[in-house]
Amino acid sequence: MHFPGLDETTVAFLTTERHLVGIGIDTLSIDPGTDKRYAGHRTLSAAGKWAAECVANLGQLPATGATVFVGAVKVAGATGAPARIVAFW
């Protein structure tokens, strides 16, 4: 797997130094494709935050001030599920 992502240090910074509840990214994972440890996922999860992956149109959002609604379904025993994501600003 070869795609960009966030390193563990960046995720740690975002979860401790920024007021966020989750991370949205347009790639297949918040972790780089070469990271077999899933360090970003582990750091994000330990902070009680969520990740939305393969999110479209992120470039249309302002740098600050958007409210994002993530409508996710529960799938028993799954590590993820499809979501409908809507942003308002």
Residue 3 lies in a domain: no
Residue 83 lies in a domain: yes
Which secondary structure element, helix H or strand E, spans residue 68, and what is its range?
A: strand 67-72
Tell me, yes or no, if the pTM score tops 0.75.
yes
Residue 62 lies in a domain: yes
Whether 42 and 57 have beta carbons less than 8 Å apart is answered as no
Count structural domains, the chain.
1
Task: Name the pLDDT band for 79 (thresholds 50, 70, 90).
Answer: confident
Domain region containing 52: 8-88
pLDDT in tens, 41-73: 999 999 999 999 999 999 999 988 899 999 988
Which secondary structure element, helix H or strand E, spans residue 9, and what is its range?
A: helix 8-17
pLDDT in tens, 27-38: 999 999 999 999
DSSP state at residue 48: T
